[in-house]
């Protein structure tokens, strides 16, 4: 071989990879630069695909939440729930949560939100949109909080057309994490242990989630509109003034005689827990070690020289190598086994509590039917209220059994106790009315339970179908006309419900 040939080969062998590496580094730098660059996005832009133009990786992973698309009818698996929620929307329809991609869709489709015919008809009020859409901060900014929180759910129909997205957590100016729901700022300040002004970036990596993943209620708040009319807004409020523990919040509600609904069977003044994820998370080992929601639910991803946050929020168990194993040693199998054990412990006590509370409601109904007086019933109903609240607080969230297993089991233990206390009192009342041996009717299937509570299921489904084909379609048309609707946010969306559609 001639020397020049050899030289050429050496040159090519060495230089081509070096050139490619140079190109790669340049590309990565460009990508990193694009990430660091402050893009031009209008304030409170509700269309996530617009943000995605500057942040393709974050947007693509966010859109990955579309993969979590299974409809799982929880009432079918746990028919006790129908009894527990008699007279309340959840007894009609309750599915396990799907990916963020579906949250607006599922809010519109559930039987809970009913079948309004126009902006004035119910059953739900406007705050039911609060955690469902990136149009909410925009609409609050436009109308003001009190106006936003006033009226029926359907009132904001044509304005709320995109699911939760970029605008809910990020500033369009700086891209930094930001709170777009002022009620969280107010709640942090009222609770006092960590006022909003002191929140660090690491705190924000949980607080943006806590805007929605928390316990809240709708606080009636009077105000006067532009026309001088008195209005009552239902303002989303976190009940944290006494603290975030189950009993602290219970006391908060009791002090205000707050009632979410009156139970259709037992006439108990009930509380419904939403999803106190933040409240329970901070009591557990990970919360106490200073971890944030994002640390496990949105782990960093490295692609070449680019590092970004995975926005496909879901179970960290889908990605143990990049979540648990960042800090812990052990095998995936060991993690799954430990977590399955935690889940089984929670499920055991939760199932016990549900069965007890369902029986308590039915036994109370029987006592009422036999002529029991309000005075006789009051102590038992108070126990039911507290027992069901505590059970609901423990299990309504997404993963309290893992975030705070000990606190969850403690509160479930106390829920069991309260529920049974109610039943002991009810047994004495039933005996007084010659029904000491009363046995609650069979509620072992969703259908049986819904029949017991007198739910007109077929009618609700029929009305809902009309809504889905009517007003719901209108809303997206209106959104498109206003230029706020992002068609990509519903790309490939199929109608999936637990009822026939």
Binding residues for a copy of itself (CB under 8 A): 288, 338, 342, 345, 348-349, 352, 356, 405-407, 409-410, 412-414, 416-417, 420-421, 423-424, 427-428, 430-432, 436-437
DSSP-assigned states of every residue in 19-70: HHHHHHHHHHHHHHHHHHS-----TT---HHHHHTT-HHHHHHHHGGGG---
Helix (H, G, I), strand (E, B) or coil at 445: coil
DSSP single-letter state for residue 209: H
Residue 113 or 350: the one with the smaller Cβ distance to a copy of itself is 350
Q: Kindly state the smallest distance separating residue 304's Cβ from a copy of itself, in Å.
A: 33
Report the residue number, 187 or 415, with the smaller CB distance to a copy of itself.
Answer: 415
User: Based on CB atoms, which residue is closest to a copy of itself, 37 or 406?
Assistant: 406
User: Of 201, 130, 126, which Cα lies nearest the Cα of 157?
Assistant: 126
Tokens describing residue 4: 């020049």
Residue closer to a copy of itself, measured from CB, 165 or 405: 405
Q: Which is nearer to a copy of itself, 341 or 462 (CB)?
A: 341
Q: Which of 222, 351, 342, 205 is nearest to 278 (CA)?
A: 205
Closest distance to a copy of itself from the beta carbon of 345 (Å): 4
Please name the helix (run of DSSP H) or strand (run of DSSP E) that holds residue 350, with its range, or none.
helix 332-369
Q: Which residues contact 94 (CB under 8 A, 6 or more apart)?
A: 73, 74, 75, 81, 85, 110, 112
Let me know: does 109 contact 471? Beta carbons within 8 Å: no
Considering beta carbons, is residue 406 or 458 the nearer one to a copy of itself?
A: 406
CB of 409 to a copy of itself, least distance (A): 4
- Written as one string, the DSSP assignment of 75-110 is HHH-THHHHHTTTSGGGT--B----GGGHHHHHHHS
Min CB(404)–a copy of itself separation in Å:
11
Minimal distance in Å, beta carbon 134 to a copy of itself?
A: 38
Nearer to a copy of itself, 57 or 346 (CB): 346
Distance, in Å, from the CA atom of 18 to the CA atom of 357, rounded to the nearest integer, reads 70
Q: At closest approach, how far in Å is the CB of 432 from a copy of itself?
A: 6
Q: Are 189 and 156 in contact (CB under 8 A)?
A: no
Least separation in angstroms between CB 344 and a copy of itself: 9
């Amino acid at each position: 071989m001639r020397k020049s040939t050899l030289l050429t080969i050496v040159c090519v062998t060495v230089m081509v990879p070096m050139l490619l590496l140079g190109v790669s580094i340049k590309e990565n730098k460009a990508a990193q630069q694009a990430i660091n660059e402050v893009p031009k996005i209008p304030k409170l832009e509700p269309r996530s695909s617009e943000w995605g133009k500057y942040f393709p990786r974050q947007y693509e992973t966010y859109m990955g939440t579309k993969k979590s698309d299974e409809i799982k009818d929880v009432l079918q698996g746990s028919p006790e729930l129908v009894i527990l929620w008699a007279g309340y929307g959840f007894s009609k329809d309750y599915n396990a949560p799907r990916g963020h991609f579906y949250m607006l869709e599922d809010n519109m489709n559930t039987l809970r939100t009913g079948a309004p015919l126009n902006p004035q008809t119910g059953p739900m009020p406007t705050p039911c949109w609060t955690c469902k859409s990136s149009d909410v901060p925009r609409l609050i900014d436009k109308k003001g909080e009190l106006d936003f929180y006033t009226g029926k759910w359907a009132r904001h129909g044509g304005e709320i057309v995109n699911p939760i997205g970029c605008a809910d957590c990020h500033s369009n100016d700086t891209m930094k994490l930001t709170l777009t729901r002022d009620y969280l700022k107010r709640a942090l300040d009222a609770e006092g242990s960590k006022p909003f002004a002191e929140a660090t970036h690491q705190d924000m990596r949980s607080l943006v989630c806590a805007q929605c993943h928390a316990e809240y209620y709708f606080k009636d708040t009077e105000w006067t509109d532009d026309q001088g009319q008195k209005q009552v807004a239902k303002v989303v409020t976190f009940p944290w003034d006494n603290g975030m523990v189950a009993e602290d919040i219970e006391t908060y509600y009791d002090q205000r005689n707050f009632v979410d609904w009156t139970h259709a069977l037992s006439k108990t003044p009930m509380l419904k827990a939403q999803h106190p994820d933040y409240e329970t998370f901070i009591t557990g080992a990970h919360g106490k070690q200073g971890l944030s929601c994002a640390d496990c639910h949105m782990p960093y991803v490295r692609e070449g020289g680019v590092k970004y946050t995975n926005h496909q929020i879901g179970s960290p168990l889908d990605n143990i190598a990049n979540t648990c194993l960042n800090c812990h040693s052990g095998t995936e199998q060991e993690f799954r086994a430990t977590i399955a054990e935690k889940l089984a412990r929670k499920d055991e006590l939760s199932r016990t509590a549900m069965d007890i509370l369902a029986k308590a409601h039915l036994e109370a109904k029987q006592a009422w039917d036999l002529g029991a007086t309000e005075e006789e019933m009051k102590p038992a109903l108070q126990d039911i209220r507290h027992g069901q609240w505590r059970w609901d607080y423990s299990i309504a969230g997404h993963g309290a059994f893992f975030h705070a297993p000990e606190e969850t089991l403690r509160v479930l233990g106390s829920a069991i106790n309260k529920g049974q206390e109610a039943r002991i009192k009810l047994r004495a009342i039933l005996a007084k009315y010659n029904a000491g041996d009363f046995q609650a009717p069979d509620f072992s299937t969703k259908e049986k339970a819904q029949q017991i509570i007198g739910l007109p299921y077929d009618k609700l489904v029929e009305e809902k179908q009309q809504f889905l084909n009517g007003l719901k379609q209108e809303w997206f048309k209106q959104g498109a006309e206003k230029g706020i609707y992002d068609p990509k946010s519903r790309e490939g969306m199929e109608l999936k419900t637990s009822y026939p559609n």
